[in-house]
Amino acid sequence: MEKTLTLPSHITTEKLKDLYKQMWLIRYFDEKVDQFFAKGMIHGTTHLCVGQEASAAGAIAALQDKDKITSTHRGHGHCIAKGAETDRMMAELFGRETGYCKGKGGSMHIADLEKGNLGANGIVGGGIPLAVGAALTSKMKKEGYVVLCFFGDGASNEGSFHESLNLASVWDLPVVFVCENNQYGMSGPVKEMVNIENIAERAGSYGIPGKAVDGNDMVEIINTVYDAVENARSGNGPSLIEMKTYRWKGHSKSDAKKYRTREEEKEWREKDPIQRFKEVLIEEDILTEEQAKNLQEEAKQEIDDAVKFAENSPEPSTDTLLEDVYA
């Protein structure tokens, strides 16, 4: 790579182009889902990550294929970044049998074990202890994979967060905790929920490294997560990374966002992670404006095709109602 861009060796020029397209896949997917919920074409609930594309794409780009992730209720971006098929994801949200959970799980329960995605989770903080368990498996069986554990700022006040960080620290487990701080836990601003400037400071209580980064800066995210992942892979234990970002949409489909100002939203939209990454790639002569536009169009077409796949897929038969359940 020419000029000033410094990244891990596996992040090639082609990989950077793929990441740019991937960010658009994440955004177009969630924007489509938002439209379909508004029209009553999808039922249940959903939590969108529009505006947070860099934290998912950048963090997962730092991993090896064998590494695992745990996700959250706001997990579409994590799924796409870990290689999920957008048509099967869309089919799941449409409640069709071609979906990841055969149409029975919906937005918050997508998993793809073959790709190392151990699953989204409808419980706030629910994926954190699962990540620690997976990391314990890796260490005990000497499997060599690292677990990347996503959660939001609200989950950092859950007992599962503190118990999991403590146990991972005591046992030197290969897990990297990633807090996506999008400034609000449901309708409450994070500054009213914690009395410290950075959630990453909590790492010090457990004797592990902690770092807060710009969650809309792809390059900083990739480099920071890569260092943490390789440190964990080398047997040096866990770390905590806080990504300061912003969700453009409401907490969930029914959120009118009355608790924040339009001025604040405008300020954060000007920090659009996709636009910022595009500017870096053009400045580094990795993309031209035309190439960037083509990749954006390819992403849009893939999501349009995913919608067609979902709409044309059959609904699950009532005969399968009791299949794939525990009781």
Over residues 197-221, the pLDDT tens digits come to: 999 999 999 999 999 999 999 999 9
Segment 285-293 shows an average pLDDT of: 98
Q: Is the pLDDT of residue 4 over 80?
A: no
Mean pLDDT of the chain: 96
CB 245 within 8 A of CB 51: yes
Segment 14-25 shows an average pLDDT of: 98
Q: Is the pLDDT of residue 239 over 60?
A: yes
> How confident is the model at residue 304, as a pLDDT?
98
Q: Is the pLDDT of residue 3 over 80?
A: no
> How confident is the model at residue 71, as a pLDDT?
98
22 CA to centre of own chain: 12
Give the CB-side neighbour count of residue 282, counting CA atoms within 13 A: 12
End-to-end CA distance of the chain: 54
> How confident is the model at residue 325, as a pLDDT?
81
Q: Is the pLDDT of residue 159 over 50?
A: yes
Q: Is the pLDDT of residue 268 over 90?
A: yes
| Topology (CATH) of 47-84+111-302 | Rossmann fold (3.40.50)
Q: Is the pLDDT of residue 116 over 50?
A: yes
CB 185 within 8 A of CB 152: yes
SS3 content of the chain, % helix, strand, coil (to 5): 50, 10, 40
Q: Is the pLDDT of residue 285 over 90?
A: yes
Segment 234-254 shows an average pLDDT of: 95
pTM equals: 0.96
CB 158 within 8 A of CB 194: no
C-alpha–C-alpha distance, residues 244 and 152, integer Å? 10
Cα distances from 142 to residues 68, 119, 134, 165, in angstroms, run 14, 22, 12, 21
Q: Is the pLDDT of residue 2 over 60?
A: no
Predicted confidence band of residue 253 (pLDDT cuts 50, 70, 90): confident
Q: Which residues contact 162 (CB under 8 A, 6 or more apart)?
A: none
C-alpha–C-alpha distance, residues 275 and 187, integer Å? 27
* SS3 of 119-138: CCCCCCCCHHHHHHHHHHHH
C-alpha–C-alpha distance, residues 130 and 240, integer Å? 16
> How confident is the model at residue 327, as a pLDDT?
73
Domain definitions of the chain by residue range: 47-84+111-302
Q: Is the pLDDT of residue 154 over 70?
A: yes
What is the 8-class DSSP label of residue 46?
Answer: -
Q: Is the pLDDT of residue 110 over 60?
A: yes
